Structure 1
Amino acid sequence: MSITLTTKQEILDYLLHQGQASAQELAQALAVSPQAIRRHLKDLEAEQLIRYEVQANGVGRPHNHYSLTDIGRDRLRTLPNTTSGRNEFALELLDTLTETLGHSQMEDILHQQWKRKAATYRQQLGEKPLMERLAGLVELRQAEGYRAEFFPVDGDHQPPQKFVLTEYNCAIANVAKAFPSICDHELEMFAAALPDCQVTRTHWLVNGEHRCGYLIAWAGLG
């Protein structure tokens, strides 16, 4: 039974990072027979953790390509299941404050909150080299429930000075849907936490992509 659960977890993790995949691609990547993969996919679909769409791949019959549902993404959060309950409470609290204070004032409060968070990040990251600060930032985000990682994207500089920070889920997805400006504040937060860098959004879960991505480049580059 443990093997089955492990394989299903590997399927979910693969889809989280790749966005989508066919049964054959999953079988090859995970070194599992196509028949076994299809059984696991059927189970995961029944649990509403994945969905599929039929895609034509040139010549030959179309294939099902699988991707995570919102429920599947929630299953892969780093934090325990209590995260969902906290998010619901936070969303209800924000709704109440909006009704009491008005939307404009609520936006100002959210902006101030993200500025405070950026200051906290900056203090915790210190004045270390950029790669070390990014490693620390990823640890902070992971502790908050984000499936985060980073990697260098320039081979011309040693040590590298240009990176991509990727988050494969949103730990506050319900709140962000209700208050979309939070995503803009998050971009500002990363820029403020890394004041010697240029931070640009490259991918966005809100736009239907399977991850949020940020290009982070040392401002003195070039």
Structure 2
Amino acid sequence: MTSVQQPSTKDDILQFLLKSSQATAQKLAASLGVSPQAIRRHLKDLQAEGLVEHQVVQSGMGRPNYIYQLSAKGRDRFPSQYDQFAVSLLDTIAEDLGAEQVGALLRHQWQRKAQHYYATLGNGPLPERVQQLVALRQAEGYMSELHTGDDDDTYIITEYNCAISQVAESYPAVCGHELAMFAVALPDCQVERTHWLVRGENLCGYKIRKK
């Protein structure tokens, strides 16, 4: 019988920092229910592995605070379906056929994906459709979560990693495609971006409001 590997405290620390952007050892300890001493040992190991980095913030005359956050290597630990091969392939297409052909290819890709989303979600109640959309995104490698908005017809989808981050860095137009896909998948809704990893924020956020 194959045993299921349980998440470790180090994994919990990495996920917390992914969501919160940064935190002190005390905050991590309180949030994860682990002693500060144990948290500091784990943080030391994670820094040695290059997954976590810290900055020192002086507040008043007391001891300085150590603020921890994920390094670029730490972010790369989270699911990503597309790697440098996809970027290399697009670069090759651009060299051989031109940038316009790459743009047309990416547009065709998001249009197909948007139609897949729409066909999968159907025309049921909005709460069920947005929950299913989040499930689709999670299956694609996004750390996606659903939150309620200010009223019953508003929802917020947050994604703490980008499953196409390397593609997005080289071809940022795909980020606009993500927004357009949600709009096609939910044609009776207004979709707007609230946060953006590309802008240096710690997540991508989308507000979905029924028209």
Residue 115 of structure 1: aligned partner: 111
Residue 140 of structure 1: aligned partner: 136
Could you tell me how far apart the structure 1 residues matched to 2:24 and 2:208 are?
A: 32
Instruction: Tell me, yes or no, if the aligned pair for 2:190 and 2:208 is still in contact at 8 Å.
Output: yes
How far is the alpha carbon of 1:60 from its aligned partner? 2.9
Percent of aligned pairs sharing the same letter: 54
Residue 40 of structure 1: aligned partner: 42
How far is the alpha carbon of 1:104 from its aligned partner? 2.1
- TM-score with structure 2 setting the length: 0.91
Residue 181 of structure 2: aligned partner: 189
Residue 28 of structure 1: aligned partner: 30
Residue 197 of structure 2: aligned partner: 205
Could you tell me how far apart the structure 1 residues matched to 2:62 and 2:208 are?
A: 42
RMSD: 1.7
Residue 55 of structure 1: aligned partner: 57
Q: Deviations over 1:14-57 (max 9, x none)?
A: 11111110011111111211111111001111111111122244
Q: Structure 1 residues 195, 19: CA separation in 2 closer, same or farther (over 3 Å shift)?
A: same
How far is the alpha carbon of 1:122 from its aligned partner? 0.5
Q: Deviations over 1:175-213 (max 9, x none)?
A: 111101110111111111111111111111111111100
SS at structure 1 position matched to 2:191: strand
The unaligned stretches of length 5 or more in structure 2 are 1-5
SS at structure 2 position matched to 1:210: coil
Could you tell me how far apart the structure 1 residues matched to 2:60 and 2:203 are?
A: 27
1:165 equivalent in alignment to 2:167: no
How far is the alpha carbon of 1:5 from its aligned partner? 6.7
1:63-142 equivalent positions in 2, closer than 5 A: 63-77=65-79, 83=81, 86-142=82-138
Aligned residues: 206
- TM-score with structure 1 setting the length: 0.87
Could you tell me how far apart the structure 1 residues matched to 2:175 and 2:61 are?
A: 41
How far is the alpha carbon of 1:58 from its aligned partner? 5.3
